[in-house]
Structure 1
Amino acid sequence: MSISTCSEEEDVYPLHECIFIGDVRKLSSLLRNHDVARKDKHGNTALHLAVMLGRKECVQLLLAHGAPVKVKNLAGWSPLAEAISYGDRQTISSLVRKLKQQAREQMERRRPDLIRALAQIQDFYMELKWDFHSWVPLVSRILPSDVCKIYKAGSGIRLDTTLVDFTDMKWERGDISFIFQGEKPPSESLTVLDNKAKVYQRVRYEETENEIEDEVDILMSSDILAAQMSTKGIAFTRAQSGWIFREDRKETVAGLYRSDIYTITGLVLESRKRREHLSTDDLQKNKAIIESLTKGNTQNLDTNGEPTRVHH
């Protein structure tokens, strides 16, 4: 019975079989006419399996044939997450480089359609209020909330937020703006402003080798995080006002626009982490690297000290 089952699996997932037995030559041949992104019944791609089994040559071969790095299995883990768990630096570096390359290529393909769509949409201003809740009694009272302000003008978008980070029941407040300017070249289109410190940083399109290696250092000494958002139970309802005679709530935005108010409920964000690869020294090293990166590479704003604004 077990032999028959194995045979059926081999016929369905030939790439996975080659990796399992370590047949690099056959894998190279099959990659010419097989889907490198195909998943098995556990949601693992061939790259997942190669990483988990430590088949380094297979990993490099799959990456050369465009195996997706960002894809997740049914447990919510990507090949990069599995590589970090096993702790092989060479494999992690290769996956990080390929992930960034695939992200750039995907953005280049989508960018014209995105800019065209933004230009066609009417300019708007929108506020999104986030409230975090927990099933643990009384915890919801201490969890943070935030109002994200979104401005859209032409092919540009600005998002303002005061919730900078929220991890492990700890959060950091600030005054951060993300600005996307579609009319600018890719390397200059995304800017992050710290309105309190009055500094800005452009998100570079490509990283240097040193920056990639620094990122690998951080990944190898940080928790492996997986976040999944479920919209199955999501519901949109008109917000109500009034105590006795209830009516749909409306507000005037910026003194000009009469707006309808909606409440969105049922959106679930599940976050999980793994840290079997970490030691005490890893955690200390990671803290030092993070502090080094956050204190450097900042530039002053314009001469009057004000952050750049997106007007509409």
Structure 2
Amino acid sequence: MAGPGPTFPLHRLVWANRHRELEAALHSSQHDIEQEDPRGRTPLELAVSLGNLESVRVLLRHNANVGKESCQGWAVLQEAVSTGDPEMVQLVLQYRDYQRATQRLAGIPELLNKLRQAPDFYVEMKWEFTSWVPLVSKMCPSDVYRVWKRGENLRVDTSLLGFEHMTWQRGRRSFIFKGQEAGALVMEVDHDRQLVHTETLGLTLHEPEALLATMRPSEEHVASRLTSPIVSTHLDTRNVAFERNKCGIWGWRSEKMETVSGYEAKAGEVYSATNVELVTRTRTEHLSDQDKSRSKGGKTPFQSFLGMAQQHSSHNGAPVQQAASPTNPTAISPDEYFDPNFSLESRNIGRPIEMSSKVQRFKATLWLSEEHPLSLGDQVMPIIDLMAISNAHFAKLRDFITLRLPPGFPVKIEIPLFHVLNARITFSNLCGCDEPLSSVWVPAPGSAIAASASPFPCEVDPAVFEVPDGYSVLGAERSEPLRDEDDDLLQFAIQQSLLEAGTEAEQVTAYEEQLQLERALQESLQMSTEAEGPGAPLRAPPSFEEQLRLALELSAREQAEWERRGRREEEDLQRTLQRSLTEL
């Protein structure tokens, strides 16, 4: 029941952009800054949708949540990009990165405390990006995250730094987290430049203004967002179901083994996660005609397979009225908007939306081993939680493995990542058992570590958590986020990367495979022409796009035929077994 006075007072001040009164109301601490209006918007979401920059600035100064998603699944930053206002995007992006940083830093002590309880270890997480599009997988990157844990100290090494100017950025980086009495020491080590940026958790969290100042994005970063589509990729696992993979020719034998990183996963312990849906939505209302043309592409044969073309568009629907404004195109009045009983139908605030969407159903695969000594909850999940705060790949992995998984440690996982990409994550080289490391060793029999309760005891050299000799140690530096891997910008970057030629070696390999594909298809077409008879008209050579389409169709038909044969064989076997039982 609403109290005296107008309902949604903060929202009404935002609607009129009365930012000074909004500031005074927020200082009184009598209002909920995250309250949702009848249309599901917080005051910040409403201010961004209306393009009221002054109100946005006031709300952000009072810590309004930038990470909140709307009822339609759009983040505040994405809505800011849709306005096309560079100052709005810069402001929201700055506070988004600031809130992410404080969230990450505040969570580090809990992470390190959880790790302190667990046995020490070293493990490698290999990320391989694959695609169902022919020839594309060779252009996809891969990376190995190397993880050392000793006591409450953690180090994660990586070489794939992200995407910038439409190219993959590589380098040798280490992220080191060291527990201390006052909190934690965080170090980012750039081995290529021999530089170390350090920050002490307690000091950083007590200097919010200094931290915020370092988060201001560059003009180039803002411009890249305003000239790229807004892409939202959501992994829908609400209806997911886990099914054991069958093994053997007819699926009736169950003792076949598959070894993953030295640990055997029985075929009965390989699961498929069905009903995993990947929902991809793309918005372009903020783009110029030139930017839209660039995003739609059409330059290469891969374009249609990458799903870049819009499939359908939805707008705000109702005709523009005379008193309309760019951010209120159907002239909705405040009384109409704030009345929960008033139906807006297809009317809405904000710039009219131009959106395409795609829903694809995938299978994810899990290789599980009940004998693996690592603990998913105690040793691996804290690391994934930490990385997921600033890494979209780890966020998707976290969302998947927090489902109710079958028993066992997931030694290998394959999940859909984006429209054309899967990610295959393999845990390997536990404590240097596959490839020895000088920084990790198995303790001698009889030592305290060897006698511990850990099923796989190992010792990690404390030197790996120290700054290497000769490196320059500096303070924290965040003029540009290192891993700004939002789904929208990253997916567009990945798609553009896949459309462009790779290295010279990759071009040669792709060209050789293209020739093999062309020869196979030409032979198929020649056989088809001969079957039609000598009088059949000559056909023009198919384009490469047509060849790819034919190759995919042939592959799909072969797969379907193989599955039909398997079902027939299984049915024959069942009938044979049934007859044998009847005769007995």
Range class of TM-score, shorter chain: 0.5 to 0.7
Q: Could you tell me which of 25, 50, 54 is aligned with 1:53?
A: 50
RMSD: 4.6
Q: Partner of 1:66 in structure 2? A: 63
Q: CA deviation at 1:47?
A: 0.8
Give, in whole Å, the separation in 1 of the partners of 2:279 and 2:438: 34
Cα deviation per residue 1:35-79 (whole Å; 9 max; x = unaligned)? 212333443221111112122221111011001112110112222
How far residue 273 of structure 1 moved from its aligned partner, in angstroms, is: 1.5
CA 1:219–1:34: 2 relative to 1, 3 Å: same
TM alignment of 1:189-208, pairs within 5 A? none
Structure 2 equivalent of residue 216 of structure 1: 222
> Taking structure 1 as reference, are residues 127 and 246 closer, same or farther at Cα in structure 2, changes over 3 Å only?
farther
Q: Deviations over 1:143-184 (max 9, x none)?
A: 8599886654313446789xx88xxxxx99999998654349
Cα distance change on mapping 1:240 and 1:112 into 2, 3 Å: farther
CA distance in 1, matches of 2:5, 2:257: 58
- Say yes or no: does 1:115 pair with 2:112: yes
Q: How does 1:1-312 map to 2 (within 5 A)?
A: 10-11=6-7, 13-31=8-26, 32-121=29-118, 123=121, 124=123, 152-154=147-149, 155-157=154-156, 180-183=175-178, 185-188=185-188, 212-244=218-250, 245-247=252-254, 250-255=257-262, 257-259=263-265, 261-265=269-273, 266-280=275-289, 282=291
Give the Cα separation in 2 of the matches to 1:152 and 1:252.
Answer: 22
Give the TM-score normalised by structure 2. Answer: 0.37
CA–CA separation in structure 2 for the residues paired with 1:41 and 1:221:
32
Distance in 2 between residues matched to 1:83 and 1:177, nearest whole Å: 34
Q: Would the alpha carbon gap of residues 176 and 228 (structure 1) be closer, same or farther in structure 2, given more than 3 Å must change? A: farther
Q: Relative to 1, partners in 2 of residues 1:24 and 1:214: Cα closer, same or farther, differing over 3 Å?
A: same
Identity within the alignment, %: 25
Output the CA distance in 1 between the equivalents of 2:19 and 2:232: 31
Read off the aligned partner of 2:282 and give its amino acid letter. Answer: K
Contact 1:228 1:270 in 2 (8 A): yes
Name the stretch that deviates more: 80-89 or 21-30.
21-30
- In structure 2, relative to structure 1, the CA distance for the partners of 1:188 and 1:274 (3 Å cut) is same
SS in 2 for 1:93: helix
Give the Cα separation in 1 of the matches to 2:245 and 2:147.
24
Residues 150 and 200 (structure 1 numbering): CA distance in 2 closer, same or farther, change over 3 Å? same
**Cα-to-partner distance string for 1:118-146 (whole Å, 9 max, x where unaligned):** 454554556778776xxxxxx87788599
Given that residues 40 and 70 in structure 2 are in contact (C-alpha distance below 8 angstroms), is that contact kept between their aligned partners in structure 1? Answer: yes
1:72–1:258 distance in 2 versus 1, CA, 3 Å: same
Q: Which has the higher contact order (CA 8 A, sep 6+)?
A: 2
Are the structure 2 counterparts of residues 100 and 15 from structure 1 closer, same or farther at C-alpha, using a change threshold of 3 Å?
A: same
AA partner of residue 224 (structure 2) = I
Deviation of 1:202 (Å): 9.0
Task: Please say which of residues 111-120 and 171-180 is displaced more in the overlay.
Answer: 171-180
Q: Deviations over 1:249-278 (max 9, x none)?
A: 5433444x3345433423323221211111
Residue type of the partner of 1:56?
Answer: L
Question: Tell me, what secondary structure is at the counterpart of 2:234?
Answer: strand
Contact 1:221–1:285, Cα closer than 8 Å, also in 2: no
Quote the offset at 1:16 in angstroms: 1.4
Unaligned segments of structure 1, at least 5 residues:
1-5, 133-138, 166-170, 287-307
Question: 1 CA distance for matches of 2:61 and 2:99?
Answer: 12
Deviations 1:89-134 (A, max 9, x none): 22211111111111111011111222333454554556778776xx
CA contact (8 A) 1:240 1:249 kept: no
C-alpha contact 2:284 2:292 (8 A) present in aligned 1 = no
Structure 2: distance between partners of 1:146 and 1:247: 35
Structure 1 residues 15, 100: CA separation in 2 closer, same or farther (over 3 Å shift)?
same
Question: Rg larger in 1 or in 2?
Answer: 2
Contact 2:124 2:144 in 1 (8 A): yes
Q: CA–CA distance in 2 between the matches of 1:128 and 1:235?
A: 24
CA contact (8 A) 1:38 1:45 kept: yes
Q: Give SS of 1:40's match.
A: coil
Higher relative strand content: 1
The amino acid across from 1:107 in the alignment is R
**Aligned-pair CA distance for 1:239:** 3.7
CA distance in 2, matches of 1:25, 1:210: 24
* Partner secondary structure for residue 112 of structure 1: helix
Asked if structure 2 preserves the Cα contact closer than 8 Å seen for 1:42 and 1:73, the reply is: no
